[in-house]
Amino acid sequence: MFTYRNPVELIAGEGALSSLKSRVQARPYVLLTHAGPVFEALAAELETAAGHAPLLCIDTVADNPDLDNLRELCAQLAALPTPPQLLIALGGGSVIDACKVLSATGGRFDTLDALLAERAAPRDPTPFIAVPTTAGTGSEVTCWATVWDRRNNRKHSLAHPSLYAQSALLEPRFTASLPAALTVSTALDALSHALESLWNRNRNPVSATFAIAAARAIVRILPASLRAPRDLALREQLQLASLYAGLAFSNTKTSLAHNISYRITLEKGVSHGIACSITLPMLVRAIGDGEPLAADIERIFDAPPALAAQRLEAFFAELGVATDPRRYGYSPQQWQALVRESAEGQRGRNFSGDLGRLSRLYDEFFHSNGIPSWQS
């Protein structure tokens, strides 16, 4: 027996933004986004599509917003004479996650600590619509948000079933201005979401179907999209692949690779999408050919796990992304300790694979100076 649930209304494809007015109706809303000319232009287009101007445009959302930034955002929302009836998030995962915090708190930052500790549930969260401008995080179809605490070198998760978006509008044009580096990192985040929902104790047949479709699409479409960044058909396919990955891990949550990544981001400043994906080839290699999961991997890469891992490494090499932990400043001993500690965390415990086999593979990799026996 299994269950699958995702209540977000999806409107996807060219022209999706035209449905915004009927979703906003006459409700007074606050728009959350980033600063800069690109987002100013997108915000102006969104305002026209909504049919009326926002009560307030908060454009000070930081990349990977931490508690200090969220405190400022809450203060801006709380300063309004009357609260909005709707929030609209225009941006990638950082903006959508920040929107969830404002939805849950209503601008009352002092309630966030209890929400993060799950001592309280959001009370009358403000409804919100997500308009993603990246193809990667899947935050538009999940009910949780990442909250960073850089002062204490920690990562928190705000999660509650009431924090799903009312609607997600996937307009592929809005991703066309993504620079190459951000296109890569967000797509690799989606690839990690897909694969991590497969080697996951919470997986189910529906999540697995979405995950396989997402991963298979990303490894085929991403290189082509980088060669033709303005090709909207490719952008739309990447956006849908990210959506499928989001629909997969919205029911399973992430696993070991993500739990490892949080420390990499905090300690080394590596972008989230890169940090959560550099372990993927080794995790694929740790799957035995006779395991049930091997069939999923073969459907994605048209190869059994050992060869699939090599193809995934070649894919990363083509993207210019290193998968050797030493390239990010970790000694072999530090890395193995990080893997063990991450496996004990909340997300790490979702990992359904063989941690011992993974550790042995990394030992072989490090002891052979980065040229393991399967490549020699």
Q: How far apart are CA 350 and CA 197, in angstroms?
A: 9
HSE-CB at 221 with a 13 A cutoff on CA atoms is 26
Stretch 164-177: mean pLDDT: 96
Q: Tell me the per-residue pLDDT of 99-133, one tens digit each, with 9 for 90 and over.
A: 999 999 999 999 999 999 999 999 999 999 999 99
| CB contact at 8 A, 261 and 157 | no
Q: How many CB atoms lie within 10 A of CB 171?
A: 28
Q: 63 by DSSP, 3-state: which?
A: coil
Which residue bears the tokens 């690779």? 257
More confident call, 110 vs 369: 110
Span between the terminal Cα atoms of the chain, in Å: 45
- Residues in a beta bridge with 66: 148
Q: How far apart are CA 241 and CA 191, in angstroms?
A: 9
Q: How many CB atoms lie within 10 A of CB 160?
A: 18
Identity of residue 179: P
Name residues whose C-beta falls within 8 Å of residue 291's C-beta, 6 or more positions apart in sequence: none
Nearest-CA neighbor of 362 among 308, 290, 281, 288?
281
Q: How far apart are CA 139 and CA 243, in angstroms?
A: 9
pLDDT of res. 345: 85
Q: How far apart are CA 102 and CA 109, in angstroms?
A: 8
Q: How far apart are CA 88 and CA 20, in angstroms?
A: 10
Name residues whose C-beta falls within 8 Å of residue 271's C-beta, 6 or more positions apart in sequence: 185, 265
Q: How far apart are CA 122 and CA 101, in angstroms?
A: 10
- The third-level CATH classification (topology) of the domain covering 180-367 is Dehydroquinate synthase-like, alpha domain (1.20.1090)
pLDDT of res. 351: 96
Name residues whose C-beta falls within 8 Å of residue 311's C-beta, 6 or more positions apart in sequence: 219, 301, 303
Q: Tell me the per-residue pLDDT of 52-89, one tens digit each, with 9 for 90 and over.
A: 999 999 999 999 999 999 999 999 999 999 999 999 99
Cα–Cα–Cα angle for 6, 7, 11, rounded to 5 degrees? 100
Name residues whose C-beta falls within 8 Å of residue 37's C-beta, 6 or more positions apart in sequence: none
pLDDT exceeds cutoff 90 at 376: no
- Residue ranges covered by each domain of the chain: 9-174, 180-367
Q: How far apart are CA 208 and CA 202, in angstroms?
A: 10
| CA dist 38 → 54, 62, 358 (Å) | 18, 15, 42
pTM: 0.95
Q: How far apart are CA 302 and CA 310, in angstroms?
A: 12
pLDDT exceeds cutoff 60 at 374: no
CATH top class, domain 9-174? alpha beta
Q: Tell me the per-residue pLDDT of 268-315, one tens digit each, with 9 for 90 and over.
A: 999 999 999 999 999 999 998 889 999 999 999 999 999 999 999 999
Q: How far apart are CA 343 and CA 347, in angstroms?
A: 8
Tell me if domain 9-174 and domain 180-367 are identical in fold.
no
pLDDT of res. 289: 86
| CA dist 193 → 138, 141, 208, 348, 351 (Å) | 8, 12, 11, 13, 13
Stretch 170-189: mean pLDDT: 96
pLDDT exceeds cutoff 90 at 346: no
pLDDT of res. 375: 52
The whole-chain average pLDDT of the chain stands at 96
Stretch 152-174: mean pLDDT: 96
Nearest-CA neighbor of 95 among 45, 125, 141, 132?
132
Band of residue 243 on the pLDDT scale cut at 50, 70, 90: very high
Structure tokens at 339: 């893997």
pLDDT of res. 368: 87
Q: How far apart are CA 225 and CA 71, in angstroms?
A: 37
Stretch 256-261: mean pLDDT: 97
Q: How far apart are CA 156 and CA 224, in angstroms?
A: 35
pLDDT of res. 370: 64
311: part of which helix (H) or strand (E)? helix 305-319
Identity of residue 35: A
